[in-house]
Structure 1
Amino acid sequence: MSPEWRETKRGQEITLEYGKALRGYSERGGAVRVYGTNGPVGWTDSPLANGPGVILGRKGAYRGVEYSKGPFFVIDTAYYVVPKSNLDMRWLYYAIKHHDLGGIDDGSPIPSTTRAAVYPRPLAVPRLQEQRAIAGVLGALDDKIEQNRRTAAGLEKLARAIFRAWFVDFEPVHAKAAGAKSFPGMPPAVFDSLPTRLVDSELGPIPEGWRVGPLRELCDLSKEQVTPMSHADELFDHFSLPAFDASRRPVTEPGFGIKSSKFIVPPGCVLISKLNPRIPRIWLPGESVGRRQIASTEFLVLQPKAGVSRERIYCQVGETSFLEALTQTATGTSNSHQRVKPQDFMATPVIHPSVTASGAFEHQVIPMMDRIQQMSDESRKLAELRDYLLPKLLSGEVRVKAASDEEAA
């Protein structure tokens, strides 16, 4: 620690304020983000606190740390941080992440982070200008990651909208039946090949010449497993439910830290969680970066058949009507632990459009998904750089020049 930094206790610098109960936040709209113990959980209309702010999970196995630039609401499973002195809130966010306050466990049956455990912990506080400089370096990396996330979300939304328009709502077919000579975004030759009427099927009316068949006609289930503990010193990229929920990026872990067998993730596959299909968790794994990729056995590993792209599978299994069908077949002891049986999943009926229409869809969507993957790879590298710099900057091992120092030079 730098001798210029002030040594203090966290309880002298901050208070942890309890969130409040709130109903309907996951369904309602609104401009204010709602946070719970493991991160964002919904939206509401009125904030509990003005931003910028820091949210710390209070209860549960995973207790996250979040930063909100704007006004926010915190429910009663989390704290929000109120500084007692003049602290840069984004620096404080990184200081809390660096010291893993969300990992403190009071030993109760439900893992919890308590004020009594947090307040006595030491904290080294640099001058405000240096706090801002540290937050600026780390924040720039996180801002670029967030920008990539937003762009990727927009591209994915567009890909799903094309899938829905062509293969669920049949908008081009309806347009042709109404006398249209073309459809926006669809190649003329593909549009010309479309039928002009719908016929009955088990899924309702579908375009003439298309058919309904089980999902297993499009992909296979890959079930090859590995026991990471048998490769104790090997590093694995682990696709788990907590990793999906936290960042949609796999976590790199050594074999000795992974207690159970996992599915091997083959190239070109799609992962979808069989747990609680009403909460879609669907992954397009990126290319391996020299480590074996593995997935929780809570995922189904879908390997597209020859002539079928994984982008088409990804959009198909993420379609609302498909997920609703899965929800109807799920079974379990409670609403929070509903699972779909693999055989039921693969038997779910889907629409098989013409080869021409499928090929045109893939031609449009694959470049979008490739771009999403490129941004994901970039964000992974940025996150690795941030995680490398975080302990060095927060400990004073690496110093950054504050703005006032530059102005005085």
Structure 2
Amino acid sequence: MGGEWKYVTVNDVAAPTRNAIVGGPFGSDLVSRDYTATGVPVIRGQNMGARWISGPFVFVSEIKSQSLAANLACPGDIVFTQRGTLGQVSLVPESSYRSYLISQSQMKLTVNPAVADPLFIYYLFISDEQQNYIRQHAIQTGVPHTNLGILRSTPIPLPPLDEQRAIAHILGTLDDKIELNRRMSQTLEEMARALFQSWFVDFDPVHAKAEGRWKKGQTLAGMPPEMWDLWPDSFEESELGPIPKGWSVGRLGDCIDLNPTRSLRKGEVAPYLDMANMPTQGHTPDDVVPRAFGSGMKFVNGDTLMARITPCLENGKTAFVDFLNEGQVGWGSTEYIVLRPRMPMPAEFAYCLARSSSFRDFAIQSMTGSSGRQRVPSEALSKYPLVIPRSDGLGLFGKYARVLLERGSKAVVEARKLSNLRDTLLPKLISGELRVKDADKFLFKRGIA
């Protein structure tokens, strides 16, 4: 650590104002009946876990928030979890909300801008050293928790203010790029699902032809004229209601295999995806690690995985497998169902189907078992009624959706590389081991700075 760095306490960097370090309201001062549809957002544990506080929120009225004015947090404040998931730290963002109310399980720090940079303090607290300090000084009686006294007396290294800002800028730039890549991946995945919804649920191209809005030789919503012949121009009745003429109605089991056989030897090390890393949004898992095979569902590239147990099914835990090497077999929880379409149905069709609201509702309604441990049997899913398009339309969808999901996966891979880089730089910058000018050169060589 450079000589100009010093150790101080959190109390030393707090703003010289009342309630600069404060906890949430007393229990009876904020209860569920205080929540309203709109108003001042309440920060709870589920709104933390990332750099910025984010929704969805519950709200209280302006009048209620003013009665708890001491417990309000404003943009730039840092929020810590006091009980529950200790170690959670997030910043209050600049947004359309002027203030937020912290819940009983949080603490808030308003930083003195003449002494410390809030973003630097945030990165300091997500470092391994500070996370270990939080855990080691937690009060273990009952639910592990901390308190304002411990927070105030927490020692932290503090460089000069300009160096704090420079460190925060470097790490913040990396986080901005990580978030941009993740948003890009999510947008691309949403585009693939929107295409599925338009073509195979709402039948938009068929409606456009039937209503005369799409004529031969014309373009429709990005669809070139040569696609005109792929779509029927009328509907026919079916057990599911009107469907495009020439299409058929079947059951999911007629065209998609559930839990197909894959081969892995006991003890063989293979990519492992646990339930915690299954995405609730987007198609790409957060992390896949090597692990010796024990027992669980096996999968290959092109498979779709969906959780079959409560509450993971209701939460939307679903993934598209495109992260394995060629010929590789991965494995995961026994609580997955694996879906693999048969030709000519493209692999991406099963993923988009598994993400659709009608399919999700059918799966949830088909769950069996005791309360809290309910599961959907694969046999029940095989009976899901399905409109089966013609093969030429399926092939076209697969071509478009594949490009979108592949681009989304590349964005996630890039985000992971940047995350690893940030995690490597963070402790070195926070401790002073790596100086700002050296970090700038390091990033410049990689085209990041």
- Per the TM superposition, whether the score is higher than 0.5 is yes
Q: What is the deviation of 1:254?
A: 6.9
Deviation at 1:55, TM superposition (A): 3.4
**Percent sequence identity over aligned pairs:** 30
Q: Report the Cα distance in structure 1 between the residues aligned to 2:106 and 2:349, rounded to whole angstroms.
A: 41
- Relative to the length of structure 1, the TM-score reads 0.80
C-alpha deviation, 1:319, in angstroms: 1.0
Encode CA deviations 1:180-225: one digit per residue, 9 max, x unaligned.
3153233434433423333333433221222222323223315769
Deviation at 1:381, TM superposition (A): 0.5
Q: Which residue of 2 aligns with 1:405?
A: none
What whole-Å deviation, never above 9, does each CA across 1:215-260 have from its counterpart, x for those lacking one? 23223315769799x67xx79554432563699643365759x9x8
Which runs of 5 or more residues in structure 2 are unaligned?
15-20, 66-71, 439-449
Asked if residue 5 in structure 1 is aligned to residue 5 in structure 2, the reply is: yes
Extract unaligned runs of 5+ from structure 1. 403-409
RMSD over aligned Cα atoms: 3.9
Match of 2:93 in 1: 69
Give me the whole-angstrom Cα distance separating, in 1, the residues matched to 2:431 and 2:177. Answer: 24
Residues 1:308 and 2:342 are matched in the alignment: no
The CA deviation at 1:75 is 5.5
Contact 1:18 1:78 in 2 (8 A): yes
Q: Is contact 2:41-2:101 (8 Å) kept?
A: no
From 276, 279, 302, the equivalent of 1:244 is 279
Paired residue for 1:269? 303
Separation in 2 of the partners of 1:296 and 1:316? 21
**Matches for 1:296-375 after TM superposition, within 5 Å:** 296-331=333-368, 333-334=370-371, 338-375=374-411
Equivalent residue letter for 1:188: P
In the TM superposition, what are the counterparts of 1:84-95 in structure 2 within 5 Å? 84-85=111-112, 86-95=115-124
Deviations 1:97-134 (A, max 9, x none): 11226756543554545445544432111121111111
Q: Shift of the alpha carbon at 1:141?
A: 0.9
Query: What whole-Å deviation, never above 9, does each CA across 1:74-101 have from its counterpart, x for those lacking one?
Result: 6636425313533211111111111226
- TM-score when scaled to structure 2? 0.74
Deviation per residue, 1:14-58 (Å, 9 max, x gap): 535327667799x96899795524544404688953223433334
Q: Name the residue aligned to 1:134.
A: 167
Aligned with 2:56: secondary structure? strand
Farther-moved stretch of structure 1 (66-75 vs 148-157): 66-75
Structure with bigger gyration radius: 2
Give the one of 74, 97, 107 matched to 2:126. 97
> Does the CA contact (< 8 Å) of 1:7 and 1:122 recur in 2?
yes
Alignment pair present for 1:221 and 2:255: no
- Residues 56/149 of structure 1: CA separation in 2 closer, same or farther (3 Å cut): same
**SS of residue matched to 1:100:** helix
Q: Distance in 1 between matches of 2:394 and 2:434?
A: 53
How many residue pairs get matched?
Answer: 395
8 A contact 1:59–1:78 mirrored in 2? yes
1-structure distance, mates of 2:319, 2:93: 28
Give, in whole Å, the separation in 2 of the partners of 1:394 and 1:148: 25
The 1:12–1:161 alpha-carbon spacing in structure 2 relative to 1, beyond 3 Å, is same
Alpha-carbon distance between aligned partners in 2 of 1:397 and 1:382, rounded to the nearest angstrom: 20
Q: Whose strand fraction is larger, Structure 1's or Structure 2's?
A: 1
Is the Cα contact below 8 Å between 1:219 and 1:305 reproduced in 2? yes
